Structure 1
């Protein structure tokens, strides 16, 4: 049996499920948006058994954790006061982490909720560097003096979130991440002597960007021609909805392919999306990885049929 963990609104999950059901009826799906009962997680001196939403996991051979997580908290508990929900969510997350490990010990578990939650950009930068992939010079600091010194070293620097973009909603307003943007002298001047930990990097003049979706050891690289648009030239994720960037399939040099495969192995990831840039000297530079990264647009723009390939792997290999 194949078990797919996704979400009702995820295009990739829906397309892949159509292919999987084309090949086999022996598949079950759990959606992040739905409450899923945990029938039992039973641990004895003899064995460990799990039953989720009436699914006996001993009969599951492969799990594809595409998107989100499993929701063991009923909606009545999710709508409770914030302090209680925060506590219950921590309990649920601890259970989910253990469950991933338990299931991963006895069957092939592809993807991960906790790899997405624990997506530490600094760790992945170091792992990429250790695999021989170039990375941007990076500083994390709470000191205005150190920030100014870093700023003076390069023609320009950029900043981005250390982990996640901020998204705080208030009744009449909100605070949202500005994504990746250039740091100016005026910004630094306006800052206090000490501030919250902040990540900055040298701004590298790039020819184009590359999104590499990977599933196991298969790479699906796509070039993003973001430099022709001032809105996306710093980061293609500053999307221009009216005039989208052109996206085309691209071949990676063999040594870059091998370095990426080494990074995947070192990071312990089985699927995800890697962001690279190619600079004016044709150097390939690692930016970050998203363990549950989007792949629908890569598949469609490049005619890779990734969802079909994933379905065939889950059913036949």
Structure 2
């Protein structure tokens, strides 16, 4: 296989969503190297790069491939494992090894010359901050529900009282959380002013006006292509009981499509999973954009179309 056309996929070995696209790339005879840098680089894989004036050379070796890092066509940053360091070390040494891997291997993999990133990991990180999402959406002309991020309990209570249609709370980041040593998710939920305690002062909290929605919409953007899916659910947060939701394709209004294009341009995203709440009047309120959101849960025809669009992006490489 020609290394100059290789696609590097950074993800964990249990990522079945990535497999959907990798099968399409295999059918297209596009060479692919799959790597989970947080785990593989202390389990037999190696990464070496040399920098000289006017020259850069590098080699990635896995159990099955040896790849010239200057000839990587595209990098798909899917769901790699976090850098945790090898087992068997003391806590201090393991933290040291993990941080050196993040800043060393992570830096190398984010700086491959001429590679086309979907998405670049630094752009992903920037776009994951909800304040950046809301600010960008507003600038790009999307409707944004009244929102307050604060660690001041009095400000939070005043905001909740001022929103006559109700207020919801949602976490600013999906931090792993355990209750009675069991994994626990913090879902979007409605809150009343009387429920907001002084514990809010511990950290910033996001409070948002509740949208009087008829349904939700997920818009998956891959380059200029948009794939809309209407989500009907009995829950405020449709992710809570996905078995109860129904999902059907839906067209994206032109004004929303233009705003999404501007949003992607400002945050330099090739891929983005946009969530909207749609009212009876047909207003689409932007809720958030996950720059690396899951997509294979949608109707089969939508999932297949998204997978095809991603395969095309990765095959085209830097010419995209």
Q: Look up the match of 1:91.
A: 100
1:286 aligned residue = 286
Offset of residue 116 of structure 1:
4.1
d(CA) in 2 for partners of 1:8 and 1:193?
A: 38
Match of 1:236 in 2: 238
Of 33, 36, 41, the residue aligned with 1:28 is 33
Please list the CA deviations of residues 198-239 of structure 1 after superposition, one character each: whole Å capped at 9, or x if unmatched: 11111111111111111122111111012xx1xx2x111112
Task: Answer yes or no: is 1:215 the counterpart of 2:242.
Answer: no
Give unpaired runs (5+ residues) of structure 1.
none
Correspondence for 1:264: 264
Corresponding residue for residue 154 of structure 1: 163
Give TM-score scaled by structure 2 length. 0.85
Residue 274 in 1 paired to residue 246 in 2? no
Matched residue, 1:68: 80
User: C-alpha offsets along residues 293-314 of structure 1, whole Å, 9 cap, x if unaligned?
Assistant: 1111236263643223322343
Distance 2:208 2:259 in 1: 22
Q: CA RMSD in A?
A: 2.6
Partner of 1:166: 175
Segments of 5+ residues of structure 2 without an aligned counterpart are none
292-301 vs 203-212, which deviates more? 292-301
2 CA distance for matches of 1:239 and 1:33?
31
Report deviation, 1:70.
Answer: 8.3
CA displacement, residues 57-94 of structure 1 (integer Å, 9 cap, x when unaligned)? 222222222222686x7633xx5344443343333222
CA contact (8 A) 1:5 1:70 kept: no
Distance 1:113 1:81 in 2: 29
Aligned to 1:47: 55
Q: Are 2:249 and 2:299, in contact at CA under 8 Å, matched by a contact in 1?
A: no
Please name the residue that 2:152 is paired with: 143
Q: TM-score, normalised by structure 1?
A: 0.85
- Whether the 8 Å contact between 1:111 and 1:269 is mirrored in structure 2 is yes
Separation in 2 of the partners of 1:65 and 1:175? Answer: 25
Q: Which residue of 2 aligns with 1:199?
A: 206
- Relative to structure 1, is the Cα distance of residues 107 and 70 closer, same or farther in structure 2, using a 3 angstrom cutoff? farther
Query: Which segment drifts farther, 195-204 or 108-117?
Result: 108-117
Check the 8 A contact 1:3/1:27 in 2, yes or no.
Answer: yes
Q: What is the count of residue pairs matched by the alignment?
A: 303
Which whole-Å CA distance do the structure 2 matches of 1:83 and 1:276 have between them?
A: 43
Paired position in structure 2 for 1:57:
69
Deviations 1:231-271 (A, max 9, x none): x2x11111243xx2110110011111011011011111111
